[in-house]
Amino acid sequence: MKWSWWLLSVAFPMSALAAPVGLGSNDSLTRAEAINPVVLAPQTAFAAPEPGTPLYIARAVEFRASSETTGVWDQLPDRRWVWRAVIHARDALSVGVTLDASPALGRSTGHVYSPQGSSIYPLRTQTQERVHSPLVGGDTLILEIVTAAADSHPRFTISRLDYGFSDPANPSTQHKSGSCNVDTVCPEGDAWRDEIRSVASYAASSGAGTFSCTGTLLANTSGDGRPLFLTANHCISSESLANSMTLYWNFETSTCGGTPNGSRTDSQSGASLLAASATTDFALVELDARPNTAFDTYYSGWNATSSAPTQGTAIHHPLGDEKAISFEYAAPASTNYSSTGTTAAGTHWRIIDWDVGTTERGSSGSALWDQNKRIIGQLEGGGAACGNDESDWYGKLAVSWSNDGSNPCSSLSPHLDPNGTGAPTSIAGYDLNEAGGTTLPLSDACYRADGGGDNGGAIGGGSSGSLLLTWLAPLLLAGWWRRRSGLRGKH
């Protein structure tokens, strides 16, 4: 347990890093199995996503409950109060919860965790947006909020539950990507070991539910280690979506072509949206903190010139599965999205058909590298899959570089070249220990007061009234709770 919390220390304030009190040995707390749970009925899985839309892995269910009527309050020996609620989603593979933001919540620390304590995630409580939790594996989640010393029984409001069809932390519950995908651990990835370390799968919460996309850690001309992460606008288009991101680094198989056995232990949560544009379908976020040094991440280089590449390489998470690598040995064509024609003024690079590997849903937002290992775009969509020769389209980094006259809200140049040097427009990647420097204060963002806008993707919002939500007495669930272990407290 100490090790897992040390890994998370880079991404959250130390005040948020104390282990949840409900997993401790405090006998004054109500036992978790005595807390009357909210029970969510089984939900219908999403249909296969259309090109250019995210891969949804959990369905949102709109729901209202407050700390005045749900869960239990206990007082800690230091006079602070702790509120805990239990969410049980029948037959789910993972569960998530969303709370309304409030000043009292911003002064508090929060966690969500599994009953056994095998999965524990801090909450990003200091936000003006709704507070979305990561998905917790299994069918049961415990929500815990510890108030500031000056607050006594403040009102916290649950506004949504997420019913998960897969567990992001458990590869065995993931969708199975196509057999033509090439694991990054295979020999084909040997020349790309650095760039592979810059790629992460992530989950984020929109109005429809929780979805999975891919993104890449970028270098900047200052070499200061600012954690800039490139992905797709159709995945992340608002501040609330960026806030809800949970990234999983180093999610890879251990052997080439072997049984999927990747680990999502190397994770961090929270980001702010810096710039985005639908023209090239890019989004640039700044992570709440640098990835932990133990994750051994890499800052990939990029090429913002309009020079035509001679080949293309993609590193991505197909269907949210372990990391894969794909190669196109022919020159990508300059075109517009979904077009098969060519034009030098195009907004996208077209991969006509992959020679090795492919991409799938969940690969959205992943980068395209040129022959010099510089990123030249990110994946918007296409029809490529195992067994076909269809195309993919990547929004051009060169066009994203100076959108709207280098408007910082819709262009990359103010963030990747923060000192406005204007050159170079192509840089190599680096390890942070090679770059040196100290992370600067958070960049100015155009989206912090966007008032929500979390209905991302092309799928409608969460359902509510027709979905069964019930309250069950603890006695009815006694046998279910006895199967849970590691819960301590009042008998």
Element (DSSP H or E) covering residue 335: strand 333-335
Q: Is residue 251 within 8 Å of 169, Cβ to Cβ? A: no
**Which candidate, 304, 392, 307, places its Cα nearest to that of 344?**
307
DSSP letters spanning 376-432: EEEEEEE---TT----EEEEEHHHHTTHHHH-TTT-SHHHHSTT-----SEE--B-H
Catalytic residue selected from 364, 366, 400, 426: 364
The three-point CA angle 16-21-23 to 5° equals 115
Cα–Cα distance for residue pair 400/385, rounded to 1 Å: 27
Q: Is residue 358 within 8 Å of 214, Cβ to Cβ? A: no
Q: In this structure, are strands 375-382 and 392-396 parallel, antiparallel, or unpaired?
A: antiparallel
361: phi > 0 → left, psi -120 to 50 → alpha, else beta; which? beta
Strand, coil or helix: what is 254?
coil
Residue 281 annotated as catalytic: yes
Residue 151 annotated as catalytic: no
**Which candidate, 325, 295, 301, places its Cα nearest to that of 218?**
301
What is the sign of the dihedral through the CA atoms of 120, 124, 125 and 128? negative
**Lookup result for tokens 């839309």:** 53
Distances (CA, A) of 102 to 127, 158, 298: 8, 12, 36
Strand, coil or helix: what is 304?
coil
Q: Is the bond preceding residue 20 a cis peptide, omega within 30 degrees?
A: no
> Other C-beta atoms within 10 Å of 167: how many?
22
**Which candidate, 354, 379, 375, places its Cα nearest to that of 366?**
379
Q: Is residue 231 within 8 Å of 250, Cβ to Cβ? A: no
Contacts of 376 (CB under 8 A, 6+ apart): 302, 303, 309, 312, 332, 349, 368, 369, 370, 394, 396, 397, 398
Catalytic residue selected from 111, 132, 234, 415: 234
Catalytic residue selected from 139, 281, 321, 417: 281
Written as one letter, the residue type at 355 is: D
Q: In this structure, are strands 81-89 and 38-40 parallel, antiparallel, or unpaired?
A: parallel
> Other C-beta atoms within 10 Å of 66: how many?
16
Residue 102 annotated as catalytic: no
Quick one: how far is CA 414 from the chain centroid? 24
- Give the catalytic positions in this structure: 234, 281, 364
